[in-house]
A and B are shown apart, each in its own frame.
Chain A
């Protein structure tokens, strides 16, 4: 297990370095002058020169890269060109909102889809199974933005049950005081995830149900409830753990759409605006954070997998 962990951690570091290099190079390939897009088209050449010198944009690319890396290693993500605020301050405002949005929707989605997938697998072929499969299948095939706008149309415009726009407060505490505004953004992300997770859970349980150890468990007289809880559930969770770990980048994509529809002031909108303004520090910082989070998520999933299933350790380690 030790050697396996060290090797996995080494791979994780390589990936983080790769993400940094890749985004840095790609962002600097964007056409058009940053200085012009920030200072406006009438900026004098002197002002542009000063801007470029201030942010080191007149240096060769590799020097800019190493300057950026050393800055990041010192805990400084730079200053936004467009918003003139430290990137870390902006992230400190936005990141908790996203953690809240993504975290709560993932937890709710798991709480719904695990029992749902299990129920469908045990009663597979029944009316409820087919009905639930059809629903999750349709959700899975629907563009997230269309689904979000439909929810707004039905629950905010037609019936006024919930609000069409996310809460405006900056802290989580103030957001929680407006629960009616929180429901739709969280519900959108939750249902998108339920569609994926429940399908995985269903097929995972179906696979487990065909295993011989279940016959043994039943043969020794274990009640069906315990068979399902002890043997089926625990073994079926394994592949789902990996999927949850892998789903983070997809979730971020969903979050960008949800933030755009509900005007939820999170990292997604910040990134989207930064992309249109050539705001390099924000673009670099947010890809770095998502990349690190994904790598950590996968690492955590792998470790959890190793703990849950001892066989994996011996095979890979």
Chain B
């Protein structure tokens, strides 16, 4: 084995145990955190409720049944029925599918787009960085609801267009964060050391920068799930949400609010509570990830 090979082997093996160790520390801190446990527990329960629930609790969510219009909670309909005669409990499950799918899809798309864009801007630097960041600033300067109100008129709303629109509006924050991380990491000694050892830009990027920036990225992704679900509910309230055959918690809630003053509380509080619990759960996970990554906070 040549000296160069030895060096290479040393480079490959040396950081790995340390990294695994710190990863395990972070995981341990995450597992100790009550917010993390509560958040993940709630999310698992919600996913089961929405995706496995309809298999056990079968309801008609397709045809309108006016005999059941606004039936209060009771036998056969634990949470009553809405103004089209749909069982509210069953509808919560079906609506949750769209809400959760949208949340996860937007978070994944946002994270990928934002990370790549931010990393390119951060590594390129100079004029390219300047132009790329001014584009981000421009989009950030217009309130997202204003942009959405215009764009919803251009693209007819469906689950996929709303996912695409929300992604287009929410990758900006990730891009800024990742660019900032990359710029601050670029000047660190370990990057210089890797460069001196002859690492390629790609290797520095994926071996050194991405693992160091991953914390910020994950925290942001968790929050963007919550933000997307909230944004969809606001759109539904303004009448620009998913079109009728679809259901989502926001639409259920805003429809229910029309009947709040008629005393039909079962159309308002169930979707409101599920919606808020979902957002709380994802925010708890986000907070917990951030806390377990923050070394200084652990020491205190």
Interface residue ranges, A against B (CB under 8 Å) = 11, 14-16, 18-19, 22-23, 26-27, 29-31, 137-138, 140-146, 149, 153, 157, 210, 249-250, 252-253, 256-257, 260, 271-272, 275, 278, 283, 286-287, 290-291, 294-295
Contact = CB atoms under 8 A, between A and B. Distances in A.
A141 B250 CA distance: 13
Given A143-B233, A149-B260, A252 B150 contact: no
Contact of A22 (B139, B260, B300): B139
B141 A210 contact: no
Nearest to A248: B143
A19 B142 contact: yes
Given A272-B149, A291-B141, A257 B276 contact: no
A11 B280 contact: no
B278 to A, nearest CB: 9
Given A26-B154, A257-B237, A145 B142 contact: no
A18 B134 contact: yes
15 contacts: A14-B134, A141-B283, A143-B233, A145-B237, A145-B257, A157-B261, A249-B144, A252-B143, A252-B146, A256-B146, A257-B237, A271-B146, A271-B149, A291-B142, A294-B140
A290 B234 CA distance: 20
Contact of B283 (A137, A252, A290): A137
Contacts of B234: 143-145, 253, 257
Contact of A294 (B141, B233, B296): B141
Contacts of A14: 134, 137-138
B135 to A, nearest CB: 7
A290 B146 contact: yes
B296 to A, nearest CB: 7
A142 B141 contact: no
Given A30-B154, A210-B300, 18 more contacts: A15-B137, A18-B134, A18-B135, A18-B138, A19-B141, A26-B150, A29-B154, A141-B230, A143-B237, A153-B261, A157-B261, A249-B141, A253-B143, A256-B143, A272-B149, A290-B142, A295-B137, A295-B141
Nearest to A157: B261
A249 B253 contact: no
A138 B272 contact: no
Most buried by A among B145, B154, B254, B272: B145
A247 to B, nearest CB: 11
Contacts of A287: 142, 146
A16 B144 CA distance: 16
Interface residues of B, number: 38
B46 interface: no
Nearest to B137: A15
A11 B234 CA distance: 32
A15 B141 contact: yes
B236 to A, nearest CB: 9
Most buried by B among A15, A27, A290: A15
Nearest to B146: A287
A31 B254 CA distance: 27
Nearest to B130: A11
Contacts of A137: 280, 283
A256 B145 contact: yes
Contacts of B144: 249, 253
A121 B275 CA distance: 29
A140 B283 contact: yes
Contacts of B128: none
